[in-house]
Amino acid sequence: MADTEETFATRLAAVQARMQRACARAGRDVGEVLLLAVSKNMSPERVREAADAGLTSFGESRVQEARQKIPLCPARLSWHFVGHLQTNKARDAVELFEMIHSVDSERVLDALERACEAAGRSIRACLEVNVSGESSKYGVSPEQLPALLSAADRFFRVTVVGLMTIPPLRPDPEEARPFFRRLRELRDRAAAETGRPLPELSMGMSGDFEVAIEEGTTCIRVGTALFGARKVAAHG
Ligand SMILES: *Cc1c(COP(=O)(O)O)cnc(C)c1O
């Protein structure tokens, strides 16, 4: 049975092959795209296995889960927060993560700034944009983005480095393309208008990351394709 068993190494090789093909199609260097392993709901043992296979950047979507898990994982890893951040978790988030992908309000920026001040550090952040306008999604609307970006100017310890989005979940990855393209256009315009470089585009997940690579992503957030399906009863 061992020959049909899926291991972390075989799943990682498949993801890397998909990344290579998409980068080749898009004329991009695969080194431009960070593979962020989204380890939510996965045990420290699964993280260790992924780290042993060579992965160094991991994403979590709940501060509480991360606070328990990260101390049990190898120390050299870099952790990113990709979930919805509540202001009362900002202190923990600043302690645990080197980048927050999902800032969607001035209140959160302000809470992160104060937490950074208290901790004597700084943090990088992406602003989450709800490009599709789905009411179930977090993130600012494209119309609200310029105001949030200019609000970010008064914070010195939180550096906004780019934008993030989650497109509607559809079976055909091509359907995500217009949302990824729109995020890139929003980034290009915001960078031109504000003079901020905004180099990062956090977009693309297990089912659609090739399309995101073609549309300019710099960070794909991949859970299922690396770790296998998450347990049904577990939180998202
Ligand atoms: C869970 C999650 C992912 C990973 O999703 P998969 O489809 O399992 O790759 C990516 N981004 C965010 C924000 C998530 O919450």
Angle (nearest 5°) at CA 43 between 37 and 48: 60
- Going from the Cα of 227 to the center of ligand 1, the distance in angstroms, rounded, reads 11
**118-164 pLDDT tens trace:** 999 999 999 999 999 999 899 999 999 999 999 999 999 999 999 99
- Going from the Cα of 108 to the center of ligand 1, the distance in angstroms, rounded, reads 21
- Going from the Cα of 80 to the center of ligand 1, the distance in angstroms, rounded, reads 12
Q: Residue 202: which pLDDT band, with cuts at 50, 70 and 90? A: very high
The confidence score (pLDDT) of residue 120 equals 98
Average pLDDT (214-232) is: 94
**70-113 pLDDT tens trace:** 999 999 999 999 999 999 999 999 999 999 999 999 999 999 99
Question: Within 6 Å (CB) of ligand 1, which residues are found?
Answer: 38, 40, 61, 82-83, 166, 205-207, 221-225
Contacts of 127 (CB under 8 A, 6+ apart): 103, 104, 139, 140, 145, 148, 149, 152, 160, 162, 163, 164
Is residue 2's pLDDT more than 80? no
The confidence score (pLDDT) of residue 25 equals 98
Residue 64 to residues 16, 82, 89, Cα–Cα distance (Å): 30, 13, 9
Overall CATH class of domain 2-227: alpha beta
Please answer whether residues 179 and 165 qualify as being in contact, where contact means their C-beta atoms are separated by less than 8 angstroms: yes
Q: Residue 236: which pLDDT band, with cuts at 50, 70 and 90? A: very low
Q: Which of 61, 128, 183 to mutate to test the pocket of ligand 1 (most atoms within 8 A of CB)?
A: 61
Is residue 235's pLDDT more than 80? no
CA 225 to ligand 1: nearest atom: 9
Would you kindly state where each structural domain of the chain is located, as residue ranges?
A: 2-227
Residue whose C-alpha is closest to residue 202's, from 178, 183, 189, 230: 183
- Residue type, position 142, single letter: P
Q: Which of 81, 82, 183, 227 to mutate to test the pocket of ligand 1 (most atoms within 8 A of CB)?
A: 82
Residue nearest to atom 13 of ligand 1 (CA): 82
CA 34 to chain centre: 10
CA 206 to ligand 1: nearest atom: 9
Is residue 1's pLDDT more than 50? no
CA atoms of 202 and 180, how far apart (whole Å): 10
**37-82 pLDDT tens trace:** 999 999 999 999 999 999 999 999 999 999 999 999 999 999 999 9
- Residue type, position 33, single letter: V
CA atoms of 61 and 64, how far apart (whole Å): 9
Angle (nearest 5°) at CA 47 between 74 and 162: 90
Please answer whether residues 40 and 59 qualify as being in contact, where contact means their C-beta atoms are separated by less than 8 angstroms: yes
CA 205 to ligand 1: nearest atom: 9
Average pLDDT (181-190) is: 98
CA atoms of 159 and 127, how far apart (whole Å): 10
CA 82 to ligand 1: nearest atom: 13
Q: Is 124 helix (H, G, I), strand (E, B) or coil?
A: strand
Please answer whether residues 219 and 34 qualify as being in contact, where contact means their C-beta atoms are separated by less than 8 angstroms: yes
Query: Which residue has better confidence, 25 or 4?
Result: 25
CA 164 to ligand 1: nearest atom: 13
Residue nearest to atom 5 of ligand 1 (CA): 223
The confidence score (pLDDT) of residue 231 equals 78
- Going from the Cα of 38 to the center of ligand 1, the distance in angstroms, rounded, reads 6
